[in-house]
Amino acid sequence: MWLPLLGLLLGFAIGVLAGWEVPDEYSNYLSIAILAAFDTLIGGWRAYLQRTYDETVFITGFFFNIVLAATLTFLGVHLGVDLYLAAVFAFGVRLFQNIAIIRRLWLAEWAKRRYNREKS
């Protein structure tokens, strides 16, 4: 479980230290793709904690979410409408829901361990 987190942190550090800048015309695409990817990662973490994780669902969801978000952004740019905001809203809501579920799972686990510790 720690290896993916280490890879994420290492990739983030390399990205920050590289000093690479995204052209303005691609910033909406990249930001929505990162949000979609982050939503999928947090959803995978939640599924792992709930013991319902499936690697095929995770990988296909990761790429499908990114492609869907980029497509909405592309259509919005060409239609002159900020459609990427719909993806931002949807992924944002899912992200916060998944984080809330993870928090509840942690609290339930913490309460269970505390109860067992007090019982013995």
Q: Is residue 18 part of a domain?
A: no
pTM comes to 0.76
User: So what's the pLDDT on residue 47?
Assistant: 94
High-pLDDT (> 90) share of the chain, %: 38
Residue 1 pLDDT grade (very low, low, confident, very high; cuts 50, 70, 90) = low
Q: Is residue 51 part of a domain?
A: yes
Give yes or no for residue 81 having a pLDDT over 80.
yes
Question: Considering Cα of 87, then 92, then 95, then 97, what sign does the dihedral take?
Answer: negative
Q: Is residue 57 part of a domain?
A: yes
The range of the structural domain enclosing residue 63 comes to 27-119
Can you tell me the distance from the alpha carbon of 113 to that of 115, in angstroms, rounded to the nearest whole number?
A: 5
Q: Is residue 2 part of a domain?
A: no
